[in-house]
Chains A and B, each alone.
Chain A
Amino acid sequence: MSDLSVAAAAALGVPESIVLRSAAARAAETGMTVDEVLTAWAGGGVVAGAPPAADTPAAEASPAPAESSPEPAIAEDTPAPVETPAAEPAPSAVATPSSEAVPATVSGKPPVLVGKTDNPMAVMVGAVALFAAIFLVGLVGPALPAENPGARSSELGFSEAGERGRHVFQTVGCFACHTQMVRPVVSDVGLGAVTLNDSNQVLGTRRFGPDLSDVGTRLTVSQIEAVITGLGDHPGLSLSQEDLDDLATYLLESQTSVEETKEPVSPSEDAETEGEEG
């Protein structure tokens, strides 16, 4: 540990031990003495052919042998030549591509992987806070149950076989092509009653085949089984008889029109009704 290494470490802002290793490697590579390298790094000169490595005070080696070597060097077995540590960057260097704003390093080239002395753990706290916000607003909020008049709802349950069939519907992946979700849009007119947010059907998000919210009112159980096993354009599914029966039961019970849609009564209509009754 010489005064030179202390001065170089102070000038570069990295630990002295790393500066010494880097200087030794650089000296070996350039043919200079270690003291000459350290003098240059401390501000007294230029090291020939020394590219800066401002990303890290740790090293990136360039041991030369490998071009002609039959086998590559193995990291753990390689001696440890190291590269020039980073020069002290100015904060402005990161915000501009202009080399004028970047202080020259010992080789006269601008540092590239420079940053600010901020605390990355603060980013972690911010990331958690942001996630909490989007989780609450983007997932919990929309999924909360709301008071709505029900067409197909969890109050209209499936039979035991229907529940098993619902599981088959999911595990086979039927919902990857069929929705059970009727929306109040022109596209869905005639498909059944509009699905509300307490639906106990498998909603799905893709519709490569027809919507099945109300399929139970349109087909018989034998027709449903025929389609599942490959009638028409529908791919035939290889299911056990039990699974097939359960799935057909679930689809047969998938009806939105078995329960009358209760229209919300406006206060004025309510008053009129009371008046008539009165």
Chain B
Amino acid sequence: MAAAHFLVGALFLVLAGALQLLALFSLRFGGLSPVSFGRMESMSNLTVMFGFLVISLTGGIYYVLPRLTGTRLWRKELALTGLLLTSAVVIVDLVVVVFGFGSGRQPLGLPWWLHIPMLAALLIPLAITVMTIKNREEKRNFVTLWIVIGGVTWLPLLYLAYSAGDLPFVSSLGSTFSDLFFSAGFVTLWVFTVGSGLFYYTLVKELDIPLAFRQLAAVGFWSLGFAAAWWGIAQMVFGPGPGWVAGVAASLGLAFPIGALANASNVSVTLQGHWEELGDKPGVVSGVLGLYLGVAVAVLASFASFPSIGSVTALTAYWEAIEYAALFGVGVLLTAGISFEALPRVAGREIRTNDRPRSFNRMTIIGVGGVMISLLAAGLLDGYSWIAGSNSAAFVDAGEGWGAGSEATEVLLLFAFGFGIIAFLGQLAYAATVIGTLINGRPVPQEVLVYGDGGETDE
């Protein structure tokens, strides 16, 4: 079951990477793109968030659950239904958005009538997780277990909050807050928490060493949960919301880097004395890189949550950089952290060569890091040029001064596109690793879990 999720997720990652590359292209060369940047970005977001991150991390959850609970996964056929339903909703929505029938809301653009099947698809992992844990034989719970249960509980609630933004009585401001709440919540409540939780399992399992601090894992988990709302809202600093939002967002947004740092430091302490063993464990390297990149993303998001910084960075490409790095960097690396560990055990085939995973790690860090830095710089340049422009009245009168003000950022957007190509090559390497392992990996002893007296097995 986990292998099917990883395979489908890898295919969607390639599609998401291609769409994101086109979005970066249309950001710089808008006139040459057949589909507008807005639609392209919605399609890319949807594909990476639900097609890749939801499906792949759910696969990781289905992989660790039987191993941590000592019981079979509850209703495997339901898990398969969830996979098919999520994939179908993503594909239908891509068609709907490209032809202009989406809701137009960021980040997904789903029309209201697709909310119901999507919500149903998200409830399936929750039901399977709860029932599997309910039937567990193992009473001593490793930290991954309660991080996973938090993630699968939050995701449908988060989606429900997002879909509420389509209700007819919700104001334009309410709908915008709902979009930001969902975008930020998805990153913190799903990608960072579940990704880190699954990586704790990988780390301990691959290196055969105990996790350094259970309490620090708890700090990371609850801090990320607490931070969810705030770094999204920080993008609306000085916007039309109530004045208290900016102050609260600045102070509570600090929970985001605290959570990310707690997880990264926990892993670092655990790895003390074992760093040299990572050479032949590319999955562990992916997870470590994902956690460290996560710290950088969280610090940058928290930094921009302060009103003084936010007055420059809000509405600019700065936030585009953070979202891109969180989804295509942290999310992809943490997913690789669990999938590279799980694949040989569930498929009975070993990753043939570590060159591809190493290439994936290298190109993802260079590509995503390059896109992030280029967009961050473009955002800061934009922010300061707006201030200068308004002082000189250059942007008044239909923004005629806009072109001059944003010309300098065009080079940076070109850099972002160039680094985006490298990141896409990394995504291709990930997909090639997953698909290649499943098709022609080197046969190895397969892990089989056995339950009860009937000789029934589960992967």
Contacts and interface: CB of A to CB of B under 8 A. Distances in A.
A209 B154 contact: no
Contacts of B235: 205
A77 B299 CA distance: 49
A57 B226 contact: no
A233 B383 contact: no
Nearest to A198: B171
Contact of B390 (A86, A186, A199, A203): A186
Residue in B38, B67, B236, B389 whose Cβ sees the most chain A Cβ within 10 Å: B38
B101 A64 contact: no
A49 interface: no
Interface residues of B, number: 136
Contacts of A176: 36-38, 41-42, 106
A201 B172 CA distance: 7
Interface string A62-77: 1111110111111110
B444 A67 contact: yes
B173 A124 contact: no
A207 B315 contact: yes
A94 B173 contact: no
A59 B106 contact: no
A154 B170 CA distance: 12
B31 A187 contact: no
Interface in B222-266: 222, 225-226, 228-230, 232-233, 235-236, 238-242, 245, 248
Contacts of B39: 172-173
A143 interface: yes
B448 interface: yes
Contacts of A118: 141, 146
Given A67-B444, A203-B240, A207-B316, A127 B270 contact: no
Contact of A72 (B100, B101, B146, B347): B347
Interface string A129-161: 011001101110111111000000010000000
A76 B446 CA distance: 11
Given A102-B210, A131-B157, A134-B226, A186 B403 contact: no
Contact of A173 (B42, B172, B450): B42
Contacts of B102: 171
Interface in B93-126: 100-106, 109
Contacts of B450: 18, 21, 58-59, 61, 80, 82
A203 B447 contact: no
B80 interface: no
A176 B458 CA distance: 46
Interface in A189-214: 189-191, 194-211
A188 interface: yes
Contact of B457 (A76, A131, A141, A181): A76
Contacts of A71: 443
A56 B177 contact: no
A209 B201 CA distance: 45
A232 B31 CA distance: 10
Contact of A114 (B142, B212, B441): B142
B317 to A, nearest CB: 7
A275 B330 CA distance: 65
Contacts of A73: 348, 445-446, 448
A236 B459 CA distance: 53
Contact of A56 (B30, B138, B242, B444): B138
A169 B3 CA distance: 41
Nearest to B143: A115
Interface in B141-186: 141-143, 145-146, 149-150, 153-154, 157-158, 161, 170-174, 176-181, 185
Interface in B435-455: 441, 443-453, 455
In terms of DSSP, what is the predominant structure of the interface of chain A?
A: loop
Contacts, number: 373
Interface stretch (B53-61, B353-361, B393-401): B393-401
Contacts of B42: 173, 176
B443 A67 contact: yes
Contacts of A18: 70, 137, 450
B389 to A, nearest CB: 8
A195 B172 CA distance: 11
Given A76-B457, A115-B141, A139-B229, A58 B205 contact: no
Contacts of A179: 315
Contacts of A190: 390, 393, 395-396
A15 to B, nearest CB: 6
B233 A142 contact: yes
B71 interface: yes
B402 interface: yes
Residue in A110, A123, A204 whose Cβ sees the most chain B Cβ within 10 Å: A123
A36 B7 CA distance: 43
Residue in B172, B213, B397, B402 whose Cβ sees the most chain A Cβ within 10 Å: B172
A43 interface: no
Contacts of A102: 210
A187 B311 contact: yes
Nearest to A65: B445
A75 B138 CA distance: 22
B172 A203 contact: yes
Contacts of A66: 348, 443-446
Contacts of A236: 31
A89 interface: yes
B8 interface: no
A235 B30 contact: yes
Given A66-B444, A173-B41, A139 B178 contact: yes
B141 A17 contact: no
Interface string B291-320: 000000000000000000001101111011
B329 interface: no
8 contacts: A94-B211, A117-B141, A127-B153, A130-B226, A139-B178, A170-B103, A172-B36, A199-B173
| A-B interface, 9 closest residue pairs, ranked by CB to CB distance from nearest | A173-B38, A138-B229, A210-B399, A72-B348, A170-B104, A235-B30, A176-B38, A143-B174, A190-B396
Interface of A: 14-15, 17-18, 21, 51, 55-67, 69-76, 78, 80-82, 86, 89, 93-97, 102, 109-118, 120-121, 123-124, 126-128, 130-131, 134-135, 137-139, 141-146, 154, 167, 169-177, 179, 181, 183-191, 194-211, 215, 218-219, 230, 232-238
Given A60-B448, A186-B387, A199-B171, 6 more contacts: A14-B137, A61-B447, A61-B448, A67-B445, A176-B38, A237-B36
